[in-house]
Structures are given as structure tokens and as C-alpha cells.
């Protein structure tokens, strides 16, 4: 007999369950359940229709614009037409840059010659910059590059055709350095737009509309391309800088820093890492950012300071004893230290011509450092001059307050001696040395250095000049000293009897003199009076290397040009820097009509 396991088996459980669920037809329970079902079904169906209606209302009314745009984007697409940047010209209307067509991939690669066969993603036509002047103008022109994180998403400074601000987008090109950066808002035009229709397969079918790109403004600069190329060739890779300018206006003819770089590298992406890691700092603009002791070129400022302050006049003389002793310290003149010879009694003209240190020690002592520093500031030292590219520094024009504040030290007479000859704590840029050369050349006018000559065909830039109101007789004394520096017996021996081969220069016996005829040539040899100052500056080098300086203007009457050359660690200014300036003067006066 089978054991009775009770109701734990499944069939017993199912049977009991079935018995409980079974409703007898016609019973009250059956009727209630049937009525409930008849009510719920329509409610559920109605709710479903309501949800569908609300969704349809949301899609067709509330989100109409959004989904219309999404659908339109699948059929219609807008592409940017990059605006060509304005062209940069030199003062002779020679183009310094050009715009060339290129193709840009979605990954950012550029193709210059032809459309690539298998690009990564969709190609976009674009326009890129080419710098035809190469490395000779790289620091002053600068280069363009893609917008960085610091500007992406921010207003570009321009407005679209509706008047709304244009926002910088990733991939946009802007000026990064130099003129390209300073005048980016003028050079950068307004991009155009093309509206294309595409079929279901993504193929472009037709152009629906377009907004033409507006090219940027072209600018005429004060630069001289050929003179800049001569500067680059003459410096020949040596570390240094060359500035050439028009004394009466402040127009910059050449602003060259060496070693230099090819700005096209940044467009093509070739060798950029090498430039950034180069220990010679080719991206560093030594002409406006480098600071150096000016050496004897500062004696120009010391002379004017002494003359205008009344401690000097044309008859004042100091005796060159070879060595000036103050207590246990001695301060020598270069001529005595190198050759063991002295100059005797000399005045300011002879002192400039011979670059006599003893004379200018005494001038500095008579002035005192604070008054000397005041004159240095008036001549543009200790602060940026305001040239229209970024990166200019002010250097250092030291005085007692500066020494206390910066070095927490007292000032001594020996410090004043050092400053009087352009040594010690004094630091200047090549642009500043060129500036005080221009002040003498222009009879006391201090003109703001600038690079932009014409903003467009109707707007020439106004020169900003201030008359320092120096006494004419004092300027003439300094000019005479600088003239004698480039005459026989002076320190600027490479420019003694300076002559050029030229058919264009009219001999007037004041600015230009008849120098005869070149051997084997019909060209005239024309003598040009020049005024110059040499400089050889110590800078604490353990091997006693010195910076070589040379600054010059010509002709002496109505000067056309002032040139300042610095060669870092190059040696003597007369033998290293002066020949470079001479090559540039030969180009300026012996070349084609400017």
C-alpha cells in the first residue's frame, strides 16, 4: 500500500488551484469580472491613442524646428569658404607673402599641390599663407597658425552678415606672432558660406546658395625686402640683430634677428620641434627682446646729457691719463689697456671720435647717476618704445633707487663710471640703440618706431614724433664727434672715405661728393658722409668675449637711414659689426631707386 504523501505533489496543488479559479457562468462573480474587463480595454486603448497623439504633437509642433533642421542637415549642408588674408607689401610694393590654395582633411593634414586620392574623411578647400621673404623677415612678419584653446569659442572681433559676433572655431587660422598677430583683425577677412544639397547616398547634387568670402585688408609696411635680405646675408648666422630705420619718421626698414627661421615651417608642420628645441633660440627676437650692455654706443647719450646739463661745452677738456684711480680701484681707457698709449687733453668731439673712456668717466661723475639716468629715459631707455609687434622689452636704466630696490645695495662712484661708458647694470635692446642714434640724426626728434606704413590705399600712417628740444649747437657737437669717428683717426675704420658705385646719387658737395669713376666701369664713385659710433661691450663672459656694436646714420645732412648692428660675443665693434653696416649702406645708396 502506497504511503500517503498528502498534497505536496504538483497535481494536487494544480487541481486545488483550478478549483479556486473556476467561476460559474451567470454567477455574480462571473458578471463582475466580465464587466471589469469590458471597462479596462477601452481605457487602455484610449490611453494608448492619447500617448500617440501627444507624441505626434510634440514632434510636429513643439519640436518642429529641431527635427526639420535635422532632416535638412541630412539633405542640406553648409561649408565654410575661407577668406584669403590680406597681402603684406614692403615699402616698394613688393609682396612679402602670398596665399596659396590647399586641401585640408578632417584630421588637419594639408595638401598643397593637388587633391589627395584617398583622403581621411571629407576634404575642405582652404587657403594657406606662404612667406616669400623666408627667414630674412620671419621675426617681424611672424606667421599664422590654428586657433589655440585660449581663443577657441571666443569672439573673433568680427561680425557676420547678420551683424552677429563671429566666434573662433577650432581649425580657424589667426596671426600668431609679428605683424600677422598685431594686425590680425585687419588681415583676417570674413569667411564665406556655400549651401549644398545632397542625395540619400550623401552625394553632392547642387549648390543652393552662397555668401562670398570677404578678403582681408592688404597692408603696406615700412620694410625694405632687399635691404633685409642683405642684413640676413651679412650677419651670416651669427647671433645678433640688425635694425635699420628712417630717422625723421621712425619707419623701420629692417628688423632682423639671427639665428632666424623659416616661417613656412609652421604652415607645413615641418621641423617645428627642432626649432622649439634649438639651444640657439631661433624664435627669439633679439632685436626687440634681447637686452645687452650697450658699451660705447651709450656715449652718445652721455655726451648730450653732459652738454644739455651744462657740465660740458665745446671747449671743455679732460686729460686722458690712461688710468683713473679711485681709492683701491682703477678704471682704464681701452687705448691704454691695449696699446699703452694716452690721448692727452681731449674735448667731447675728440672723445666721441676716439671713444675715450676717461673722458666719459669724468662726464658721468659730473652728472651723477640719477641725472644721467634721467637723460637715458628721455632717450627711450628703461621702457618699451612701443613698436607695433609683440615682444618688446624695456631693458634697464639703473639709478640709486633701482639698485636699492632690485639689489638691496648702495650705489658707488665706480658704478657711475661704468654706466657712463655703457657698462655695469645698464641693459638696452638693439632697437633702443637705434632710437638714440635717430634722435641725433633727426636733430632732436624722438619718433616712435613702427612697421605699418599704409593701412589701405587711402590711409597712410601718421608718424608719431616728439621734439626733445635739444640745443642745436649740442647736437652739432655730437654729430661732429660721430662724423670724426668714421674719418681717419676715428674708431670706425671700415667706413673711412665711404663710397658707393651709383648712377642715381646727385653730387651736391654737401650730402654726396664726387668720388671719381670706378675702375673699368662707367659708374660713378660717390662719397657719402657718415656719422657713426662703435661699441665693444663686456658682459661677464669667462673667456672675456665682448659684444660687437656699431651704429651709424647717413648722409649726415638730411639722413636717409640709420643702421644699428649687434653681434653677440662677436668681439670689437669696429672690426666685426661695422663691416656688416657697410654692406647695408652700400645696398641702400648703391641699389635701385627707393
At which of 160, 192, 221 does a domain end?
A: 221
* Whether residue 121 is found in the same domain as residue 133: yes
Picking from 84, 204, 92, 95, the residue whose alpha carbon sits closest to that of residue 144 is 84
| Most confident of the ranges 192-196, 269-273, 427-431, 539-543 | 427-431
Rounded-to-integer distance, Cα 442 and Cα 157, Å: 39
Note whether residue 22 is domain-resident. no
**Total tally of structural domains belonging to the chain:** 2
Going by pLDDT thresholds of 50, 70 and 90, the confidence category of residue 11 is very low
In which domain, by residue range, is 95 found? Answer: 78-221
Q: Determine the pLDDT at residue 555.
A: 97
**CA dist list (Å): 575 to 339, 499, 532, 565:** 17, 18, 14, 12
Compute the Cα dihedral for 338, 339, 341, 347 and give only its sign: negative
Cross-strand bridge partners of residue 425: none
Q: Determine the pLDDT at residue 273.
A: 86
* Whether residue 214 is found in the same domain as residue 238: no
Lowest mean pLDDT among 38-52, 53-67, 181-195, 365-379: 53-67
Chain-centroid distance, C-alpha 581: 23
* Whether residue 193 is found in the same domain as residue 247: no
Whether the link from the prior residue into 259 is cis, omega within 30° of 0, is yes
Q: What are phi and psi of 338, to 5 degrees?
A: -90, -35
The residues near 526 (Cβ < 8 Å, ≥ 6 apart) are 499, 500, 501, 502, 505, 507, 512, 513, 514, 515, 589
| Ramachandran region, residue 32 (left: φ > 0; alpha: ψ -120 to 50; beta: rest) | alpha
* Whether residue 295 is found in the same domain as residue 309: yes
Q: Can you give the pTM of this predicted structure? A: 0.84
- The x, y and z cell numbers of residue 506, run together, are 646727385
Rounded-to-integer distance, Cα 153 and Cα 155, Å: 7
- In the predicted model, what is the mean pLDDT of residues 369-385? 97
What DSSP string describes 458-487?
TEEPPP-EEE----HHHHHHHHHHHHHHTS
Note whether residue 10 is domain-resident. no
Note whether residue 393 is domain-resident. yes
Q: What is the tens place of the pLDDT at every residue in 387-444?
A: 999 999 999 999 999 999 999 999 999 999 999 999 999 999 999 999 999 999 999 9
Q: Which residue has the higher pLDDT, 60 or 316?
A: 316
Note whether residue 370 is domain-resident. yes
* Whether residue 249 is found in the same domain as residue 169: no
**CA dist list (Å): 229 to 225, 266, 564:** 6, 21, 16
Note whether residue 154 is domain-resident. yes
* Whether residue 361 is found in the same domain as residue 510: yes
Query: What CATH number does the domain containing 170 carry?
Result: 3.90.1310.10
Note whether residue 165 is domain-resident. yes
* Whether residue 356 is found in the same domain as residue 462: yes
Reply yes or no on whether the pLDDT at 21 is more than 70: no
On average, the pLDDT of the chain sits at: 87
Reply yes or no on whether the pLDDT at 142 is more than 90: yes
Parallel, antiparallel, or unpaired: how do β-strands 110-111 and 97-104 relate? antiparallel
* Whether residue 439 is found in the same domain as residue 424: yes
Note whether residue 472 is domain-resident. yes
At which of 221, 244, 275 does a domain end?
A: 221
Query: What CATH number does the domain containing 242 carry?
Result: 3.40.710.10
- In the predicted model, what is the mean pLDDT of residues 23-51? 66
* Whether residue 320 is found in the same domain as residue 450: yes
CB 252 within 8 A of CB 388: no
* Whether residue 313 is found in the same domain as residue 216: no
* Whether residue 323 is found in the same domain as residue 411: yes
At which of 195, 221, 247 does a domain end?
A: 221
Q: What element of type H or E holds 531? A: strand 531-538
Going by pLDDT thresholds of 50, 70 and 90, the confidence category of residue 191 is confident
Note whether residue 25 is domain-resident. no
* Whether residue 276 is found in the same domain as residue 210: no
Q: Determine the pLDDT at residue 18.
A: 46
- The x, y and z cell numbers of residue 181, run together, are 598677430
Reply yes or no on whether the pLDDT at 280 is more than 80: yes
Q: What is the tens place of the pLDDT at every residue in 341-375?
A: 999 999 999 999 999 999 999 999 999 999 999 99
Amino acid at each position: 500500500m502506497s504511503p500517503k504523501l498528502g498534497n505536496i505533489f504538483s497535481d494536487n496543488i494544480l487541481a486545488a488551484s483550478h478549483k479556486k479559479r473556476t467561476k460559474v457562468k451567470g454567477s455574480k462573480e462571473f458578471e463582475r469580472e466580465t464587466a471589469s474587463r469590458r471597462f479596462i480595454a477601452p481605457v487602455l486603448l484610449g490611453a494608448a491613442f492619447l500617448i500617440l497623439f501627444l507624441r505626434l504633437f510634440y514632434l510636429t509642433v513643439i519640436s518642429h524646428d529641431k527635427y526639420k533642421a535635422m532632416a535638412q542637415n541630412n539633405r542640406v549642408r553648409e561649408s565654410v569658404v575661407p577668406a584669403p588674408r590680406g597681402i603684406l607689401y614692403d615699402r616698394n610694393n613688393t609682396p612679402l607673402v602670398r596665399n596659396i590654395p590647399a586641401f585640408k582633411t578632417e584630421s588637419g593634414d594639408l595638401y598643397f599641390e593637388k587633391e589627395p586620392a584617398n583622403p581621411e574623411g571629407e576634404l575642405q578647400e582652404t587657403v594657406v599663407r606662404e612667406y616669400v621673404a623666408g627667414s630674412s623677415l620671419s621675426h617681424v612678419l611672424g606667421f599664422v597658425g590654428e586657433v589655440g584653446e585660449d581663443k577657441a569659442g571666443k569672439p573673433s572681433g568680427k561680425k557676420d552678415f547678420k551683424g552677429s559676433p563671429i566666434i573662433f572655431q577650432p581649425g580657424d587660422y589667426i596671426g600668431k606672432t609679428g605683424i600677422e598677430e598685431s594686425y590680425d583683425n585687419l588681415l583676417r577677412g570674413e569667411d564665406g558660406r556655400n549651401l549644398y544639397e545632397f542625395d540619400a547616398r550623401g552625394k553632392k547634387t547642387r549648390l543652393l546658395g552662397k555668401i562670398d568670402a570677404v578678403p582681408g585688408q592688404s597692408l603696406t609696411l615700412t620694410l625694405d625686402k632687399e635691404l633685409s635680405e642683405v642684413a640676413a646675408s651679412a650677419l651670416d648666422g651669427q647671433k645678433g640683430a640688425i635694425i635699420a630705420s628712417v630717422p625723421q619718421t621712425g619707419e623701420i626698414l629692417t628688423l632682423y634677428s639671427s639665428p632666424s627661421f623659416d616661417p613656412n615651417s609652421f604652415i607645413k608642420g615641418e621641423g617645428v620641434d627642432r626649432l622649439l628645441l634649438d639651444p640657439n633660440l631661433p624664435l627669439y627676437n633679439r632685436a626687440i627682446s634681447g637686452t645687452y650692455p650697450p658699451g660705447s654706443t651709450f656715449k652718445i647719450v652721455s655726451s648730450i646729457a653732459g652738454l644739455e646739463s651744462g657740465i660740458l661745452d665745446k671747449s671743455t677738456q679732460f686729460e686722458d691719463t690712461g688710468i683713473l684711480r679711485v681709492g683701491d680701484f682703477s678704471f682704464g681707457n681701452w687705448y691704454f689697456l691695449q696699446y699703452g698709449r694716452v690721448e692727452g687733453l681731449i674735448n667731447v668731439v675728440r672723445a666721441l671720435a676716439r671713444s675715450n673712456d676717461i673722458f666719459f668717466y669724468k662726464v658721468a661723475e659730473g652728472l651723477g647717476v640719477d641725472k644721467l639716468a634721467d637723460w637715458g629715459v628721455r632717450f627711450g631707455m628703461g621702457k618699451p618704445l612701443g613698436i607695433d609687434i609683440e615682444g618688446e622689452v624695456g631693458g634697464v636704466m639703473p639709478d640709486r633707487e633701482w639698485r636699492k630696490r632690485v639689489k638691496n645695495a648702495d650705489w658707488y662712484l665706480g658704478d657711475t663710471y661704468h654706466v657712463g661708458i655703457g657698462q655695469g647694470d645698464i641693459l638696452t635692446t638693439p632697437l633702443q640703440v637705434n632710437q638714440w642714434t635717430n634722435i641725433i640724426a633727426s636733430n632732436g626728434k624722438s619718433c616712435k618706431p613702427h612697421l605699418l606704413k599704409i593701412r589701405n590705399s587711402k590711409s597712410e600712417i601718421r608718424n608719431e614724433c616728439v621734439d626733445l628740444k635739444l640745443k642745436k649747437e649740442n647736437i652739432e657737437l655730437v654729430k661732429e664727434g660721430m662724423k670724426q669717428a668714421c674719418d681717419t683717426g676715428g674708431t670706425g675704420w671700415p667706413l673711412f672715405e665711404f663710397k658707393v658705385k651709383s648712377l642715381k646719387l646727385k653730387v651736391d658737395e654737401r650730402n654726396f661728393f664726387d668720388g671719381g669713376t670706378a675702375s673699368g666701369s662707367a659708374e660713378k664713385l660717390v662719397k657719402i658722409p657718415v656719422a657713426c659710433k662703435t661699441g665693444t661691450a663686456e658682459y661677464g663672459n669667462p673667456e672675456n668675449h665682448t659684444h660687437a656694436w656699431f651704429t651709424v646714420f647717413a648722409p649726415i645732412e638730411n639722413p636717409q637711414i640709420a643702421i644699428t648692428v649687434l653681434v653677440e660675443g662677436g668681439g670689437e665693434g669696429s672690426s666685426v659689426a661695422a663691416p656688416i653696416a657697410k654692406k647695408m649702406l652700400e645696398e641702400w645708396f648703391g641699389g635701385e631707386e627707393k
